[in-house]
C-alpha cells in the first residue's frame, strides 16, 4: 500500500468510520465537507494508487465511499474481496453511466450507485440512506438465517422421532418427550440430541 492514509475528523449524528477512496483531492475534500455537519465521524482517505482492499483490512471502516471518474475494475475486485470478508455499506459515485459496470459494482456489494457527473451533489443523505438500507438488509438476512436454522432443527427433531417410534413402539408425543428428557439430562438443545441420534442411526447404532 503506497503512502499513508489521511485521517480527518468531522461531525456525524452517529459514530461512523468512513473510508474514502478518491483520486481527485478536490472531490475528496468536497465529500468531507458535505459530511462535516452531521455529527461525529472519522474519515480516512485512501491515497491515490493505494489498494482499497488493504485499506479496508487495515482501517475496518463502517462505510466505504468510492468516487471515480472512470470505471476501475481493480477497485471493484478490491470491494468484492473486502465484502466477502466483512460486508459493510458501500457508496459509489461515478461520472458516467455504464450499465455493465453498474451491475459489476452491485454484484461486488455496492448498495448505493450514483451517476453524478462532474459536480458532486450533497453526499450525506446518500450515505445515511445507504447505511440504513444496508442495516435493514443485514437484519432481514439475519432473520432469514435464523428462520432457516429453526426449520432445519424442527426437521431434524421430526426425523429423529421416527426411529424411536419404530424401535420402542412410541407414539409421536412419547418420542418427543424421550428426546426432550435426554436433552435435559445431557444439558443440550433438543435439536442437538436429535442430530446425534440421526448420526448414530445412519451408522446402524440403536438409540
pLDDT digits (tens, 9 = 90+) for 17-56: 889 988 778 888 888 887 776 667 788 888 766 789 999 9
Q: Between residues 1 and 199, which one has the greater pLDDT?
A: 199
Q: Are 6 and 43 in contact (CB under 8 A)?
A: no
| 174 domain residue, yes or no | yes
80 and 178 in a single domain? The answer is no
Does residue 71 lie within any of the structural domains?
A: yes
At residue 13, the pLDDT reads 46
C-alpha cell recorded at residue 133:
438500507
**Final residue in a domain of this structure, among 122, 151, 174:** 122
pLDDT in tens, 140-186: 878 888 889 889 988 988 899 988 888 888 888 898 999 999 999 99
* pLDDT exceeds 70 at position 103: yes
What residues have CB less than 8 Å from 86, skipping those under 6 apart?
Answer: 60
For residues 112 and 192, membership in a common domain is answered with no
Give this prediction's pTM. Answer: 0.64
CATH number, domain with residue 22: 3.40.50.2300
Number of domains in the chain: 2
Query: Do 102 and 24 have their domain in common?
Result: yes
Compare 4 and 107 and report the one with higher pLDDT.
Answer: 107
- Asked which of 2-6, 28-32, 185-189 is least confident by mean pLDDT, the reply is 2-6
Please tell me the least confidently modeled range out of 8-22, 45-59, 60-74, 183-197. Answer: 8-22
Interval 79-90 mean pLDDT:
91
Q: Please say if the pLDDT value at position 125 is more than 90.
A: no
Residue 132 forms part of a structural domain:
no
pLDDT exceeds cutoff 80 at 63:
yes
Are the beta carbons of 113 and 126 closer than 8 angstroms?
no
DSSP letter at 44 equals E
Q: Which helix (H) or strand (E) holds 98?
A: none
Compute the average pLDDT of residues 71-98.
88
Q: CA triplet 47, 52, 58: central angle to 5 degrees?
A: 90
Residue 10 predicted with pLDDT over 70 = no
6 or 31: which leads in pLDDT: 31
Indicate the average pLDDT of the chain. Answer: 82
Cα 41 to Cα 47, 52, 115, 126, 197: the distances in Å are 19, 19, 25, 15, 52
User: Per the domain annotation, does 93 fall within a domain?
Assistant: yes
Note whether residue 1 is domain-resident. Answer: no
Residues 148 and 114 in one domain: no
Q: How far apart are CA 185 and CA 192, in angstroms?
A: 13
115 with 152, same domain: the answer is no
What is the extent of the structural domain holding 44?
A: 6-122
What residues have CB less than 8 Å from 90, skipping those under 6 apart? 63, 64, 65, 66, 79, 83, 108, 109, 110, 111, 112, 130
- In percent, the amount of the chain with pLDDT more than 70 equals 85
Picking from 70, 91, 122, the residue at the C-terminal end of a domain is 122
Q: Same domain for 109 and 53?
A: yes
Amino acid at each position: 500500500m503506497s503512502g499513508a492514509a489521511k485521517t480527518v475528523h468531522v461531525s456525524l449524528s452517529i459514530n461512523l468510520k468512513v473510508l474514502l477512496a478518491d483520486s481527485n483531492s478536490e472531490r475528496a475534500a468536497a465529500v468531507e465537507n458535505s459530511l462535516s455537519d452531521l455529527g461525529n465521524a472519522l474519515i480516512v482517505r485512501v491515497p491515490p494508487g493505494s489498494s482499497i482492499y488493504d485499506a479496508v483490512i487495515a482501517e475496518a471502516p463502517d462505510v466505504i465511499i468510492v468516487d471515480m471518474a472512470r470505471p476501475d475494475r481493480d477497485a471493484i475486485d478490491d470491494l468484492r474481496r473486502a465484502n466477502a470478508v466483512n460486508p459493510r455499506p458501500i457508496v459509489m459515485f461515478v461520472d458516467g453511466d455504464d450499465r455493465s459496470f453498474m451491475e459489476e459494482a452491485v454484484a461486488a456489494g455496492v448498495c448505493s450507485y450514483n451517476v453524478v457527473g462532474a459536480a458532486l451533489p450533497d453526499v450525506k443523505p446518500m450515505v445515511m440512506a445507504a447505511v440504513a438500507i444496508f442495516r435493514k438488509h443485514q437484519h432481514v438476512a439475519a432473520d432469514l438465517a435464523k428462520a432457516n436454522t429453526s426449520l432445519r432443527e424442527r426437521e431434524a427433531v421430526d426425523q429423529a422421532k421416527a426411529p424411536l417410534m419404530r424401535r420402542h413402539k412410541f407414539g409421536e408425543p412419547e418420542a418427543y418427550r424421550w428426546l426432550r428428557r435426554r436433552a435435559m439430562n445431557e444439558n443440550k438443545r433438543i435439536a442437538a440430541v436429535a442430530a446425534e441420534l440421526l448420526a448414530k442411526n445412519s451408522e446402524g447404532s440403536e438409540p
